[in-house]
A = this chain, B = another copy of it.
Amino acid sequence: MKLISGGVCAAKGFLAAGIHCGIRKNHDKKDLALVSCAVPAAAAAVYTTNLVKGAPLTVTKNHLADGVARAVIVNSGNANTCNADGIEIAEKMCALTAEALGIAPEDVLVASTGVIGQRLDLTPIEAGLPKLADALSPQGNGDAAAAIMTTDTVAKEAAVEFTLGGKTCRLGGMAKGSGMIHPNMATMLVFITTDAAVSPPMLQKALSSDVSETFNMVSVDGDTSTNDMVTLMASGLAGNPCITEEGEDFSEFMKALNTVTMALCRSIAGDGEGATKLLECRVTGAPDREIARTVAKSVICSSLVKAAMFGSDANWGRVLCAIGYSGAAVDVTKIGVAFRSAKGEIAVCEAGAGVDFSEEKAKEILLEKEIDILVSLNDGETEATAWGCDLTYDYVKINGDYRT
């Protein structure tokens, strides 16, 4: 398995494009992305658990009922959520896309991201779609990744090459992250493509199982979005024997998927709104996975831990505090905590109590851009990892007046 470039265009059969159509006022910011597949692709998706759901999710869910899709259309700048006629607008976006591509509207998936509660004007989308369809290319992945960005500062892409049944396969994706990131049984906007042949049920199984270890373990600000969605489309053009059940090929496919989603998770967390640091909390020695996950996520979500990491302050009491209120049944007197980065590792707490450590060394470690918070529960063999970012002045600045 090797990392390659190409994002959503890495896999055979997929083209992408991204343009500025006019949903956003800033002409330098692309706001409409399209990914298309040369053949009907097996497709799967997971969605936010927020009861307030964006209209595009309802439409995508309906169009995915047959497990097949040909294209994904995505706009940024407006979430098309909490509007009286959101569903009609999302359906119309699919119809316009289908018309431009000469495919059926039911084979188009749709997603939107941006401000909630403002009507999405179809005029710029209708005008832009022919241009967008014309721009589709095997090198369009970067433009598409740029077009789905909101407050993201960098485009988020990842792709891998792997082998199934002697055939070279590829899997790649793009993500939009940054704010309102606290996935729960679903995630932010992520679009993944592969040329591996996988049946729709196995594709859904792979995706649902993967997100619980990856996107559901990311939190930027504790706010679960209304528009979270991950889609996975498989063209089958790699020519491998179609995966229709669990086994060696499925495991290999899962590994490829996990490599890409993990990379996207780290990109999303590290580029969280206002973030200066990527935080990874790795919990080991847990009695079961649920406890490991709960503890890791509680630490990564703590505003106080996040602010301490921004200040490069080895305030491990806040880590212990976040473990204590996580709701997980842990034995506090067994817990160990250490901080790690490229500059080294330092133990700060053992058996639930502080140990002497060099504040100078701790500062040096915590001044790095990627920090691991290592928690040993010393009460079992299971582990879990969660990703997040520090809490900074810029998070407040970005969110103090997002709409204007």
User: A: which residues have CB within 8 A of B?
Assistant: 49-53, 79, 81-84, 115-119, 179-180, 182, 184, 221-226, 301-304, 307-308, 310-313, 315-318, 320-325, 329-330, 332, 349, 352-354, 391-393, 395-404
Contacts and interface: CB of A to CB of B under 8 A. Distances in A.
A329 B52 CA distance: 11
Contacts of A313: 400-404
B349 A302 contact: no
A302 B84 CA distance: 25
B391 A332 contact: no
Contacts of A349: 82, 117
Interface SS, A side = loop
Contacts of A81: 317
Contact of A222 (B118, B222, B308, B397): B222
A169 B52 CA distance: 49
A320 B324 CA distance: 30
A319 to B, nearest CB: 9
Contacts of A50: 321, 324-325
Contact of A352 (B49, B82, B322, B332): B82
Nearest to A85: B353
A321 B116 contact: yes
Contact of A320 (B117, B179, B222): B117
Contact of A321 (B180, B315, B323): B180
Given A84-B353, A354-B82, A302 B223 contact: yes
